[in-house]
């Protein structure tokens, strides 16, 4: 910021000064005066194309580095789900603890936010951390940051989303890691564990009919699937992350697992984003379950995570 | 004996409403764009008053959301985009190239009626429930969730697009086929070059927003699923299609103003523009490169990192031709014979404000910085510096510069200079605080805001009151001058273009005899007919011709 | 009002007038390319996202009708080209004949389109109007199929609209040609409307395989 500001300020001041200087120095003395006919100068033109171009490239480069780092989420993150809907934010901590318009995070750890929208496009923005990301209905966006200082910081909805867009904000509270752990576990039992809620849904929506855990069903067993590679019918492989699970639930025909028929119905319109997150949490919890020898759909080369 | 010219050649309302004279059509546009400027300006006034207090002073959030949306739609589509091309371009283009009219005069008139039709639909939308989607109409908010009068508004903007397309078509064909003998491409005034470049964008970009809004409208009316994820659609597709036009659209808004500046500065420095071919070429470069940067509005939508890198790089490239212009304009002042007339004040004010606006664009093109600045008041300040500090100053400056030609009268010079200064100061006071607000994190499109942002908001509103005065004054004295102003001769400044070789106001056919062009543009040194001293000596440096 | 063939006030020569009109039509057609382009882009993106659904949906539109229409349109372009030739060669009696043939073929096209649309109406394939697509009642597939049909109606509808405008222009051309207004020296409207007609034909040449020929053997 300082670098770009300095360069821009330099040029702004230089040009303004030149204009003001010329404006006064060359003011017309006699009403019939004309100026000196200078048509141009190739060297000057080249110079003031080349130099700004060079400077622009440095600005681009620096910004690009920062941005690429921002888009590349590190592996070792604390994952928190954030759902935006008109006009509030629902935050779900890893243990299932839910917050509304509040986000508690520990200092000194990489925090990843998985962003989902229930309706229109929103944007989760924390100016003090210099981070924000659009929250788009139809797919997940992720952002990450590493809080360093304990304190309370504003967050805002930063993409116009309707009537109460300006009221759709809250506070990020950064705590010492030990305090955060204490806060997390000391939560009231009014909040449901997402894994438990997800398991309930898994039964309610009859997923158990096909996704038998021993792999003998019409659909792959989900034991050990999360985080690993899945072999698809067309021979390609895909990582079973949050986005893959979500897509499999809403648009199951998009990617068919090798060796299985395209039988799964879509649950589009039947589940809220929160319920999808609960189901994902449940599937995540099956990582530690025994993987059946046949019928897991897991890509052979990499096996399970 | 009163002389006959285009204003008094025929009388009666039919002779105006059915005219095919490009000069009369320009005036018809002048009246209509000024009307929409008032509409948009009223909304702006209400916005700034409302934002005096953190909780919002004037209206409910629902109404506020409509105010900023309607401000944007009215100003962008019905004022800024048509302003210079349809008013100054229509009036001057044929005269500047020595033609009697545009290539297709009836289509020119049709353009105006299409504009009115589009405007009517939009006004209908404004008055029956208003519009609260933001001028960007992002889906699914606009196509599914909004409860405002989206469909007529979208229809109105769609229809208005054809007005632009036809104007652009008319201009391009005219420049190709209707130039007077001796008017080669490189003798064209830079204003013509800028209109030509703008017209390229008109014809290639506008159809895309037309189809995009059509699809969004159909989605809303028939519950289709192009952009609605619940029905398999993609809201980001809307953004790509929308910005494919709307980014080049901002070049539609600035290129003509740059053309005006390129005319004013040589006239009031009385020397050729420095780097003519570079300025001409940079207009074309901006038009072309401008088509390839649209997704810099979408860096944070989750688009691929590779795409973001590409669009950021190209966005920096598109800045270079604009920088070239600023350097060339400034160099033109060197060793000039500079007068302080109002058009020159507007031109120099333009350079200063466009400089700040353009440089702050570099901040936003920077991927790392955009993460922080996206959708904040920094962006609002950036584009208002360019569109108001740039385009509107260019428009008002151009109106002053060519006022004697258009009306045959001079405006009151002293008052005009005061107004120009008021406008410049008011503008800066209004919008500079917004850069700081944005850096501090205040989001845009907020009907209420955290209290720590109040002081800067109050400053901005104070500035807005001064800015408003800066706009009202010219409206008053320009209108006054049409009746009571001093009579202007054919070439009061004097200028070197063909438009100054014909009486003020011009006759309907523009020229009694088709001119034959033998001189280079802005060649004050070789124009004894202008009655000025010349320096005599051969040009000191011929860098590029 | 100017009569066809006269020199308009702003031009110096008929040659300039002709050149100008021609350039104008080419530029207008380029705007049309961009206009349809946005639609084609939307179609392409959606098709690559939902290839199977699009393929299934495409099978329910009648290939035979589409193929006949393609032949009809190509034939109409032939008759249009012959009209332009006739006007250039001074064949004042033949010109209206070819123009009328073009118009008839255009109307045949529109008629067949009407039949297709009626089919879709009967099968409940019009989005937003009692839409239902057997065999799948899967919500997502239904939505994606509706997307196909939205694009089908959008693209062919926009095309048909342009055909109707073209038909209107042809009617005017026929009227003027019957009055003998077009000569080898002045046949600009015939040429330019011919250009427009060929363009509309080319759009169909792209539409047809995209919509009708997905995965057909």
Give rounded-to-5 percent helix, strand, coil for chain A: 35, 25, 40
What is the rounded CA–CA span in Å between residue A20 and residue B451? 39
Mutate: best of B140, B211, B510, B516, partner C, most C CBs <10 A? B211
Residue B231 per-residue DSSP state: G
Q: Which of C49, C52, C140 sits opposite A250 (nearest CB)?
A: C140
pLDDT in tens, A250-295: 888 888 898 888 888 888 888 988 899 999 999 988 877 777 777 7
Question: Does residue A303 fall inside a structural domain?
Answer: no
Find chains touching chain A: ≥3 CB pairs under 8 Å: B, C
* B296: in domain: yes
Domain boundaries, given as residue ranges, for chain C:
39-212
* A175, A133: one domain: yes
Q: How many residues does chain B have?
A: 545
Q: Shortest Cα distance from C164 to chain B (angstroms)?
A: 19
Hey, what are B198's tokens?
A: 């703008």
Closest residue to A127, CB basis, from B62, B145, B441:
B441
- CB proximity under 8 Å: B 300-319 to A: 300-302, 305, 308-309, 312-313, 316-317, 319
Q: Does A295 fall in a domain?
A: no
* Closest-CA residue of chain A to B535: A36
Cα–Cα distance for residue pair C210/C217, rounded to 1 Å: 14
Q: In angstroms, what separates the C-alpha of B38 from chain A's closest C-alpha?
A: 25
- Give CA angle at B154 (B149, B157), nearest 5°: 130
Query: Which residue's structure tokens are 């003031």?
Result: A48
How far are the Cα atoms of A217, A223, B301 from residue A261, in angstroms, in the given order? 11, 19, 34
**In angstroms, what separates the C-alpha of B324 from chain A's closest C-alpha?**
7
- Contact B299/A at CB under 8 A: yes
Q: Determine, for residues B207 and C127 on separate chains, whether the beta-carbon distance falls below 8 Å.
A: no
Q: Which residue segment(s) compose the domain that A7 sits in?
A: 2-24+39-71
Across chain A, mean pLDDT equals 89
* Residue-by-residue DSSP string for B5-66: -TTTSS-SHHHHHT---HHHHHHHHHHHHHHHHHHHHHHHHHHHHHTTSTT-SSS-HHHHHH
Residues 6+ apart with CB under 8 A from B383: B250, B357
Contact A273, C73 (CB under 8 A): no
Name residues whose C-beta falls within 8 Å of residue C122's C-beta, 6 or more positions apart in sequence. Answer: none
CB pairs under 8 A between B and C: 110
Cross-chain CB nearest to C150 (options B99, B177, B226): B226
How far apart, in Å, are the Cα atoms of B18 and each of B89, B112, B167?
A: 20, 11, 17
Name the residue in chain C with its Cα closest to that of B205.
C34
Cβ-nearest to C147 among B165, B233, B241: B233
Residue A7 lies in a domain: yes
Q: With 0-12 CB in 10 A as exposed, 13-18 as middle and 19+ as buried, what is C81?
A: middle
ipTM confidence score? 0.90
- Divide the 545 residues of chain B into consecutive groups of 10 and give the mean pLDDT of each group: 82 94 97 97 97 94 96 97 97 96 96 98 95 95 93 96 97 95 95 97 96 94 89 92 96 97 96 95 96 96 94 96 96 94 96 95 95 95 96 97 96 96 96 96 95 96 96 96 93 94 93 90 88 62 43
Residue A232: is its pLDDT beyond 80? yes
Euclidean distance between the first and the last CA atom of chain A, given in angstroms as a whole number: 41
- Give the whole-angstrom CA distance, residue B421 versus residue B424: 5
CATH code, B318: 1.20.210.10
Is the CB of A253 less than 8 angstroms away from the CB of C143? no
Query: Residue A32's pLDDT band (boundaries 50, 70, 90)?
Result: confident
Q: Would you call B224 and C39 a contact, using CB atoms and an 8 Å cutoff?
A: no
Residue A186: its pLDDT value, please?
73
Phi and psi at residue C112, to the nearest 5°: -65, -40
* Residue B130, phi-psi category: left (phi > 0), alpha (psi -120 to 50), beta (remainder): left
Question: What pLDDT, in 10s, does the model give residues C59-110?
Answer: 888 999 999 999 999 999 999 999 999 999 998 899 999 999 999 999 999 9
Q: What is the CATH number of the domain that holds A282?
A: 1.10.760.10
Count of the separate structural domains present in chain B = 1
| Residue of C53, C139, C141 with shortest CB distance to A269 | C139
Radius of gyration of chain C (CA): 20
In this complex, the residue of C49, C52, C139 whose CB is nearest that of residue A266 is C139
Q: Peptide bond before B505: cis, by omega within 30 degrees of 0?
A: yes
> Which residues are bridge partners to A83 per DSSP?
A90, A116
Q: Are residues A222 and A162 in the same domain?
A: no
State the CB neighbour count (10 A cutoff) for residue B134. 22
Cα C47 versus chain centre, distance: 22
Query: Could you tell me the CATH number of the domain that includes residue A154?
Result: 2.60.40.420
Which residues from chain A sit within 8 angstroms of residue C148, using beta carbons?
A: none
Could B525 and A34 be called an inter-chain contact, meaning their C-beta atoms sit closer than 8 Å?
Answer: yes
Contacts A–C by Cβ distance under 8 A: 19
Question: Virtual CA dihedral for B239, B241, B243, B244, nearest 10 degrees?
Answer: 150
- Rounded to an integer, what distance in angstroms lies between the CA atom of residue A68 and that of residue B368? 8
B5: in domain? no
Statement to judge: residues A95 and A174 lie in one domain: yes
Would you call B226 helix, strand, or coil by DSSP?
coil
Question: Could C140 and A251 be called an inter-chain contact, meaning their C-beta atoms sit closer than 8 Å?
Answer: yes
Contacts of A89 (CB under 8 A, 6+ apart): A82, A83, A100, A101, A103, A124, A155, A157, A168, A170
Cα distance between residue A231 and residue C179, in whole Å: 72
- Residue to test with chain B: of C53, C150, C199, most B Cβ within 10 A: C150
pTM: 0.91
Q: Strand, coil or helix: what is A262?
A: coil
Classify each residue of A196-221 as buried b or exposed e, where b means 16 or more C-beta atoms within 10 Å of its C-beta.
ebbbebbeebebeeebbbebeeebbb
Among residues 252-271 of chain A, which lie with CB inside 8 Å of chain B?
268-269
CA B24 – CA B7 distance, rounded (Å): 8
Query: How far from the centroid of its chain's Cα atoms is residue B302's Cα?
Result: 32
Question: At residue C115, what are phi and psi to the nearest 5 degrees?
Answer: -60, -45
Q: How far B516 CA lies from chain A's nearest CA (Å)?
A: 23
Q: What is the 3-state secondary structure (H, E, C) of B344-410?
A: HHHHHHHHHHHHHHHHHHHHHHCHHHHHHHCCEHHHHHHHHHHHHHHHHHHHHHHHHHHHHHHHCEE
DSSP secondary structure code for residue B515 in this structure: -
pLDDT top residue among A228 and B105 = B105
Task: Domain of residue B295: give its range.
Answer: 21-530
Interface of A with B in 33-62 (CB under 8 A): 33-45, 48-49, 52-53, 56-57, 59-60, 62
Rounded CA separation B37/B30 (Å):
10
**Within-domain flag for A52:** yes
φ, ψ for residue B473, nearest 5 deg = -55, -55
Q: Report residues of chain C scoring pLDDT below 70.
A: 1-5, 135-139, 217
Tell whether A221 and A248 lie within a shared domain: yes
B409 in any annotated domain = yes
Would the CB atoms of A67 and B544 count as touching at under 8 Å?
no
Which residues in chain C are contacts of A266 at CB distance < 8 A?
Answer: 138-141
Q: Do C139 and A270 touch (CB under 8 A)?
A: yes
How far is it, in rounded angstroms, from Cα A275 to Cα A265?
17
Distance to chain A for B165, nearest Cα, Å: 30
Quickly list H helices, C50-131: 51-58, 63-88, 94-122
> Does residue C216 or residue A23 have the better pLDDT?
A23
Number of domains in chain A: 3
d(CA C113, CA C118): 8
Nearest to B268 by CA among B88, B495, B529, B501: B495
Domain spanning C39-212: CATH 1.20.120.80: yes
Residue B276: which of A39, A127, A137 has the nearest Cβ? A39
């Amino acid at each position: 910021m300082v670098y770009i500001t300095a360069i821009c300020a330099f040029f702004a001041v230089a040009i303004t000064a030149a204009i003001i200087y010329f404006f006064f120095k060359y003011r017309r003395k006699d009403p019939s005066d004309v100026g000196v006919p200078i048509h141009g100068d190739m060297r000057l033109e080249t110079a003031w194309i080349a130099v700004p171009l060079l400077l622009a490239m440095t600005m681009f480069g620096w910004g690009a580095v920062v941005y690429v780092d921002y888009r590349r989420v590190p592996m070792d993150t604390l994952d928190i789900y954030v759902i935006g809907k008109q006009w509030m934010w629902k935050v779900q901590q890893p243990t299932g603890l839910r917050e509304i318009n509040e986000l508690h995070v520990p200092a000194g750890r990489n925090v990843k936010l998985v962003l989902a929208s229930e309706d229109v496009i929103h944007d989760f923005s924390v100016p003090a951390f210099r981070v924000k990301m659009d929250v788009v209905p139809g797919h997940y966006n992720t952002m990450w940051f590493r809080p360093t200082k304990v304190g309370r910081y504003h967050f805002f909805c930063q993409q116009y989303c309707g009537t109460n867009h300006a009221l759709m904000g809250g506070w990020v509270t950064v705590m010492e890691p030990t305090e955060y752990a204490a806060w997390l576990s000391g939560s009231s039992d009014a909040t449901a564990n997402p894994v438990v809620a997800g398991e309930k849904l898994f039964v309610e929506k009859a997923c158990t009919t096909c996704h038998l855990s021993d792999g003998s069903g019409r659909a792959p067993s989900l034991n050990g699937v999360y985080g690993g590679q899945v072999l698809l019918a067309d021979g390609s492989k895909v990582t079973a992350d949050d986005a893959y699970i979500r897509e499999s639930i809403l648009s199951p025909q998009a990617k068919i697992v090798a060796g299985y028929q395209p039988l799964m119905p879509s649950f589009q319109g039947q589940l809220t984003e929160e319920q999808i997150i609960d189901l994902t949490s449940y599937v995540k919890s099956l990582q530690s379950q025994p993987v059946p020898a046949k019928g897991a759909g897991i890509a052979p080369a990499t096996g399970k995570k | 004996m009163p002389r006959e010219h285009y204003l008094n050649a025929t009388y009666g309302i039919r002779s105006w409403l059915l005219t095919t004279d490009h000069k009369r059509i320009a005036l018809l546009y002048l009246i209509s764009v000024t009307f929409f400027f008032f509409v948009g300006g009223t909304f702006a006034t209400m916005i700034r008053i409302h934002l005096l207090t953190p909780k919002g002073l004037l209206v409910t959030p629902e109404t506020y959301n409509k105010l900023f949306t309607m401000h944007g739609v009215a100003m962008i589509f019905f004022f800024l985009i048509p302003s210079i091309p349809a008013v100054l371009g229509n009036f001057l283009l044929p005269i500047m190239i020595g033609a009697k009219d545009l290539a297709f005069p009836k289509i020119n008139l049709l353009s105006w009626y299409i504009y009115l039709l589009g405007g009517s639909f939009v006004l209908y939308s404004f008055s029956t429930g208003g519009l609260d989607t933001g001028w960007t109409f992002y889906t699914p908010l606009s196509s599914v969730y909004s409860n405002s009068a989206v469909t007529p508004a979208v229809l109105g903007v769609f229809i208005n697009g054809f007005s632009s397309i036809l104007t652009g078509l008319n201009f391009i064909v005219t420049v190709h086929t209707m130039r007077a003998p001796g008017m080669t491409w490189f003798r064209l005034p830079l204003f013509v070059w800028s209109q030509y470049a703008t017209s390229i964008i008109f014809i290639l970009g506008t159809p895309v927003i037309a189809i995009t809004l059509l699809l969004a409208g159909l989605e809303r009316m028939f519950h289709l699923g192009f952009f609605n994820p619940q029905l398999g659609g993609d809201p980001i597709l809307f953004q790509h299609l929308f910005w494919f036009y709307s980014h080049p659209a901002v070049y539609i808004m600035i290129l003509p103003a740059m053309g005006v500046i390129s005319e004013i500065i040589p006239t009031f420095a009385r020397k050729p523009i420095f780097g003519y071919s570079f300025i001409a070429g940079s207009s074309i470069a901006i038009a072309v490169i401008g088509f390839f940067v649209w997704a810099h509005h979408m860096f944070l939508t989750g688009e691929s990192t590779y795409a973001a890198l590409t669009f950021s790089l190209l966005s920096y490239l598109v800045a270079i031709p604009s920088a070239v212009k600023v350097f060339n304009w400034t160099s033109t002042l060197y060793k000039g014979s500079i007068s302080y007339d109002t058009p020159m004040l507007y031109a120099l004010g333009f350079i200063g404000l466009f400089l700040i606006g353009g440089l702050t664009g570099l901040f936003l093109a920077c991927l790392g910085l955009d993460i922080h600045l996206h959708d904040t008041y920094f962006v609002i300040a950036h584009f208002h510096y360019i569109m108001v500090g740039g385009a509107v100053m260019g428009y008002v400056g151009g109106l002053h510069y060519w006022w004697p030609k258009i009306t045959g009268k001079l405006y009151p010079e002293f008052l005009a200079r005061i107004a120009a200064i008021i406008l410049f100061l008011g503008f800066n006071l209004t919008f500079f605080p917004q850069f700081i607000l944005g850096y501090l994190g205040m989001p845009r499109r907020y009907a209420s805001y955290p209290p720590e942002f109040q002081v800067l908001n109050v400053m901005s509103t104070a500035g807005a009151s001064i800015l408003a005065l800066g706009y009202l004054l010219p409206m008053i004295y320009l209108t006054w001058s049409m009746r009571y102003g001093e009579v202007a001769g054919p070439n009061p400044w004097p200028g070197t273009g063909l438009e100054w070789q014909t009486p003020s106001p011009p006759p309907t056919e523009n020229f009694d005899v088709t001119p034959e062009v033998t001189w280079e543009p802005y060649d004050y040194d070789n124009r004894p007919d202008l009655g000025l001293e010349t320096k005599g000596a051969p040009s000191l440096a011929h860098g590029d011709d | 009002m100017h009569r066809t063939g006269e020199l308009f006030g702003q031009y110096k020569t008929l040659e300039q007038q002709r050149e100008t009109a021609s350039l104008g039509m080419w530029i207008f057609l380029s705007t049309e390319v961009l206009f349809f382009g946005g639609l084609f882009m939307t179609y392409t993106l959606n098709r690559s996202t939902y290839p199977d659904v699009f393929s299934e949906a495409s099978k329910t539109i009648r290939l035979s009708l589409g193929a006949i229409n393609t032949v009809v349109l190509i034939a109409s372009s032939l008759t249009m080209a012959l009209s332009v030739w006739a006007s250039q060669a001074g064949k004042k009696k033949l010109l209206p004949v070819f123009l009328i043939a073009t118009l008839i073929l255009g109307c045949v096209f529109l008629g067949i389109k009407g039949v297709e649309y009626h089919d879709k109406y009967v099968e409940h394939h019009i989005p937003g109007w009692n839409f239902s697509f057997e065999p799948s009642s899967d919500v997502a597939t239904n939505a994606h199929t509706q997307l196909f049909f939205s694009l089908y109606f959008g693209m062919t509808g926009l095309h048909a609209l342009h055909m109707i405008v073209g038909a209107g222009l042809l009617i005017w051309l026929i009227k003027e040609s019957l009055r003998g207004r077009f000569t080898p020296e002045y046949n600009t409207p015939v040429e330019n409307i011919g250009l427009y007609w060929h363009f509309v034909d080319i759009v169909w040449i792209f539409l047809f395989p995209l919509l009708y020929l997905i995965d057909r053997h």
